[in-house]
Amino acid sequence: MTEIVMPRLSDSMEEGTILTWMVRVGDEIAVGEEIVEIETDKANMAYEADVAGTLTEILAQEGETLPIGAPIARIGDTAEGSGASTAGPVTAGDPPPPAVAKASSGVGPPTVPPAGEAPEANSQGSGDGEEDRDGERVKASPVARRLAKERGVDLSSIAGSGPGGRIVKKDVKQAAKAGKAEATAPPTPTRQEGVGGGGAVESAKGEVEVVELTKLQQTVARRMAESKGTAPHFYLQIEIEMTAAVEARGRIKAMAGEGEVVPSFNDMVVKACALALREHPQANGAYRDGRFELYSRVNVGVAVAAQDALVVPTVFDADRKGLRQIAADTRALAGKVRDGSITPPELSGGTFTVSNLGMYGIANFSAVINSPQGGILAVGEIAERPVVRDGELTTAQMMGATLSCDHRILYGAPAAEFLARVRALLEEPLSLAL
């Protein structure tokens, strides 16, 4: 008999929430088969069995949150499976076990994934992911289940096109287009109950709606507070002339063939930062436990706005990649963040972060350091602004940037030199290709 425990799926994971069991008690399990979907502090991830046998018992029900190492299931050989317990995932109408009932009482966050795509797991198994197809469990991604619920699509009537016949987002969309969708009412928001339990609180502010945080939102809130509370921030602002970069990108776009990726200005910033980080190793490090950690790889995190959260996927070895490869990587990562398919390894290993709000018309802002990194570059919009050149007033394409530094590792002068190098690289964009 082998006990399956809550796995560590990311470097910062301390606990996980069972979202969906993909197998049932009595099922034969193969090594590498996806058996359970788990929500971590960074993303939802399917856990693959590392042993083969028969699933004899499920110890953690959908909706339960357990620490790393806690038992969640048991797998035995075929003989052991024949007399196994029939306990399995909670289905609609079944009374919830005590641990899950506690989760449904409002204690703890609803299990909504980082990109807001997966269904909320609840103690009584709303039916999402529990549909049967001729007595077999329907395998569907969290995104597909959420979309099916919203559009009234019966998952048991869909043939999945994903790995192992798993139903994915596009399958549900196609089913909805085929006229199989029925409108469903949106979920009722949680509202603050009055002392006597008689409804929402009325005050001068109106009704008070209380929204529980997802695990990702809890993690972001905790880490941002820890960063500001423990890392002594200081900020350096700079104006970068992007006229040559604008012209260079225009030429790249004009020369690009159909379907070719055209690097964005943010891709140029990522590349410039990567090259500057290679030349200034102190900026590519962290302060940990009274020591400096200086990293040999330059991995730049790119802040991406997901639904109700901020996610930072990583462009690995950005200093060694060309602009087109960086552009392809960032687009693929951003797409995964938004559709909820990003994995913990793609969110780990960053040594520096770039955050860009220029597309929203923000000229300058100061970002909170993504601890334990030593710095983060906040990038504003590119806009035509007046400048003085050779004693004459003219205009140029200018971009504001603010470097937030952890003063424990990145001091004023080295930080200024790093930022000046980023500016020099962007103002002469041909250097980004070298």
- Report, as residue numbers or ranges, the catalytic residues: 407
String of b and e for 349-365 (b: at least 16 CB within 10 Å)? ebbbbbbbbbeeeeebb
Residues near 368 by Cβ (< 8 Å), separated by ≥ 6? 224, 227, 228, 233, 376, 404
String of b and e for 116-131 (b: at least 16 CB within 10 Å)? bbbbbbbbbbbebbbb
d(CA 429, CA 244): 7
Q: To 10 degrees, the CA torsion angle through 138, 309, 39, 70?
A: -160
d(CA 276, CA 88): 54
d(CA 388, CA 103): 63
d(CA 173, CA 153): 9
d(CA 297, CA 73): 38
Q: For the CA atoms of the chain, what is the radius of gyration?
A: 25
Q: In what order do the strands lie in the sheet with 34-39?
A: 44-48, 34-39, 15-21, 65-67
Burial class for 43, CB neighbours closer than 10 Å (0-12, 13-18, 19+):
buried
